[in-house]
Amino acid sequence: MALDRKIAYIDLTTGKIETKPIPLEVRKKFIGGRGLDAYLLYNHAPKGCDPLGPDNPLIVSGGLLTATCASATSRTHIMAKSPLTNLLGSCNMGGFFSPEMAWAGFHHLVITGKAEKPVYLWIHNGDIEIRDASHLWGKTCTETQWAIREDHGDQEIKSMVIGAAGENLVTYACVMTGIKNSGGRSGMGCVMGSKNLKAIACRGDMDIRLAHPVDALEHNKKFIEQITSAKVNQTQGTLGTPFIWGATNCWGGVRTRNFQYNQMLYADEIEPEAIDDIATETMGPITWPAVSAARCIAGRSTRSRPVLWPGSMTRALNTLPWAPSAASPTAEKPKPFCPPITWSTSTASTTLRSAASSPGPWNSMNWAS
């Protein structure tokens, strides 16, 4: 395991950067990733600190096994006191950032203070620099990542960045990496913006040594075989995680019409099978060979279907022509999109129709009861 990866303590106010090893006893208690992040936040966040103040530490990490041969270990975790809830803020995202940070020498970053002007962190093979980001401020998340690569002349640089929402301190702003991976909970992008921190960019080729590499590969092979042999994984590998869309929509686990409703009419047209008809190819994350996670549609790489979690459908559904309108509810009998709902007799059907004709919010429904 990569027990030689370090923690970096970065003060953006003073420009001081200090790196330290992670004690083995701390590893044994908190391992890494979110567990160790929580320990660091508890010890470095002053009681009652302002989430948008310089004392609120922003902590970025990868797990203990990231950048090794282990599958499903490449996620990046971000933690701070949340400006949205004033409580613990925690989010994570997929992509390639945390493995690159590990190859650059670090598992954890603890970032405090506030820069006088926009800056970004450049991490390369054990060294960290605070660089001017004035030319990046105002750029989109994708533009920022591409600009950093151009600045360094290296197309393999991986960055986590904020866009306009983070810059303008929107309390639920995301952190992004790549073209689609987002840390979208608890406003960690807002915390980055409050520190004038536009991005963190990493590039490294430091080896991660395993004590027993052959045994590790064999163990991982068994792990992959166990996953790929499961029927649910075979379906997910073909259609992506949204194969659960039908069931999720049935019990009211989605949010539509700007959170007015928790179930969607006419849902057949975005079933994964329907989108699979127009997907030209698939691609997966860095350490998850068993499951394809994204589709390329019409030559453009995109998340296969943005329907994974409650609330994730809001933007998509409000732009679809067949989404029911609260102002003009459809009089046509909806076609069923999953077996448990019978539109002519069920309570769910009656409630859904009456809710569609009402302009008020519909978030209190409990479909499980």
Burial classification of residue 32, based on how many CB atoms lie within 10 Å of its CB (0-12 exposed, 13-18 middle, 19 or more buried): buried
Res. 135: pLDDT tops 60: yes
Task: Give the CA dihedral 121, 76, 303, 254, nearest 10 degrees.
Answer: -120
Pairwise CA distance, residues 127 & 215, whole Å: 32
How confident is the model at residue 232, as a pLDDT?
A: 85
Query: Please, which pLDDT band fits residue 1 given cuts at 50, 70 and 90?
Result: low
167 and 299 part of one domain: no
| 175 & 245 share domain | no
Residue 343 has pLDDT above 80, yes or no: no
Q: Which residues pair with 294 in a beta bridge?
A: 283, 303
Confidence of residue 300 (pLDDT cuts 50, 70, 90): very low
Does residue 332 fall inside a structural domain? yes
Q: Does 1 map to a domain? A: no
Tell whether 215 is covered by a domain: no
Name which of 53-62, 195-204, 266-275, 347-356 the model is least confident about. Answer: 347-356
Higher pLDDT, 138 or 328: 138
Listed in sequence order, the residues at least 6 apart from 30 whose beta carbon sits closer than 8 Å to its beta carbon are 36, 38, 39
Do residues 217 and 69 lie in contact, with contact meaning Cβ atoms separated by under 8 Å? yes
Say whether pLDDT at 274 is over 90.
no
Total tally of structural domains belonging to the chain: 2
User: Which region among 94-108, 182-196, 272-286, 340-354 has the lowest average model confidence (pLDDT)?
Assistant: 340-354
pLDDT of residue 287: 56
Identify whether residues 193 and 247 lie together within a single domain: no
E strands, the chain, are: 6-11, 17-21, 58-62, 76-81, 88-93, 106-112, 119-124, 127-132, 158-161, 175-177, 181-183, 197-203, 279-283, 294-297, 300-303
Residue-level pLDDT at 235: 84
pLDDT tens per residue, range 204-247: 999 998 889 999 999 999 988 988 888 888 888 777 778 888 88
Please say which residue of 203, 222, 250 terminates a domain.
Answer: 203
pLDDT at 96: 95
Q: Tokens 């609260």 map to which residue? A: 326
For residue 224, is it within any domain?
no
Q: Are residues 196 and 271 in the same domain?
A: no
**Would you say residue 304 lies in a domain?**
yes
pLDDT at 359 over 80: no
Of residues 82 and 306, which shows the higher confidence score? 82
Residues 6+ apart with CB under 8 A from 247: 338
Of the residues 186, 203, 220, which one is the last residue of a structural domain? 203
**For residue 136, what pLDDT is reported?**
98
Q: Which residue has the higher pLDDT, 49 or 229?
A: 49
Confidence of residue 284 (pLDDT cuts 50, 70, 90): low
In a domain, 194, yes or no: yes
pLDDT (average), residues 109-129 = 98
Top-confidence residue, 329 or 176: 176
Q: Is the predicted pLDDT of residue 355 greater than 70, yes or no?
A: no
Supply the range of the domain harboring residue 162: 6-203
User: Would you say residue 262 lies in a domain?
Assistant: yes
Whole-number pLDDT of residue 285: 60
Q: Which CATH number is 102's domain given?
A: 3.60.9.10
Position 233 scores a pLDDT of: 83
What does the pLDDT average to over 119-125? 98
136-194 pLDDT, tens digit each: 999 999 999 999 999 999 999 999 999 999 999 999 999 999 999 999 999 999 999 99
The answer on 270 and 187 residing in a single domain is no
91 and 168 share one domain: yes
**Residue 90, pLDDT score:** 98
Whether 138 and 40 share a structural domain: yes
Secondary structure (3-state) at 28: helix
Of 176-185, 284-293, 359-368, which range is least confident? 359-368
In terms of domains, do 45 and 173 share one? Answer: yes
What average pLDDT does this structure show over 28-42? 96
pLDDT at 349: 33
Alpha carbon distance 142, 176 (integer Å): 9
Please give the mean pLDDT across all residues of the chain.
80
User: Within 13 Å of residue 221, how many CA atoms lie on the same side as its CB?
Assistant: 6
Rounded CA-CA distance 144/166 in Å is: 13
- Do 131 and 279 lie in a common domain? no
Is 368 contained in some domain?
Answer: no
Same domain, 141 and 69: yes
Averaged pLDDT for residues 5-15: 97
